[in-house]
Amino acid sequence: MVEIKATVHTQSRTEASYGKSTVGNRIVSMDFNAYTDKNNPNYVARGVEVVIPNNATDEEKRIASSYVKKVKELMDSNGYAEKSGTGKDYPIRQNGIGYASTSEYGRGKEGFFHLEPFFAQDKAAVEIINNNKYKYAEIIASTFGQLKGARIIPPHEEGGNEGATAMFNGKKMSETDFAREEIVQQFKE
* pLDDT single digits (tens) 18-30: 888 999 999 999 9
DSSP summary character for residue 38: T
Residue 13 has what pLDDT?
74
pLDDT above 70: residue 188:
no
CATH number at residue 53: 3.40.630
What are the pLDDT digits (tens) for 49-95?
Answer: 999 999 999 999 999 999 999 999 999 999 999 999 999 999 999 98
Which residue would you say has higher pLDDT here, 40 or 156? 40
Tally of structural domains, the chain: 1
Contact 175, 34 (CB under 8 A): no
- E-assigned strands of 10-105? 27-30, 49-52, 99-101
* Per-residue pLDDT band at 189 (split at 50, 70, 90): low
pLDDT of residue 15: 61
Q: What is the C-alpha to C-alpha distance for residues 51 and 187, in angstroms, rounded to an integer?
A: 23
Q: For residue 40, what is the DSSP state?
A: -
Domain boundaries, position 158:
2-188
Q: What is the mean pLDDT of residues 120-149?
A: 95
What value does the mean pLDDT of the chain take?
A: 91
3 state DSSP class of 61: helix
Give dist(CA 9, CA 148) in Å, integer. Answer: 16
What is the DSSP pairing of strand 27-30 with strand 99-101?
A: unpaired
Alpha carbon distance 72, 135 (integer Å): 12
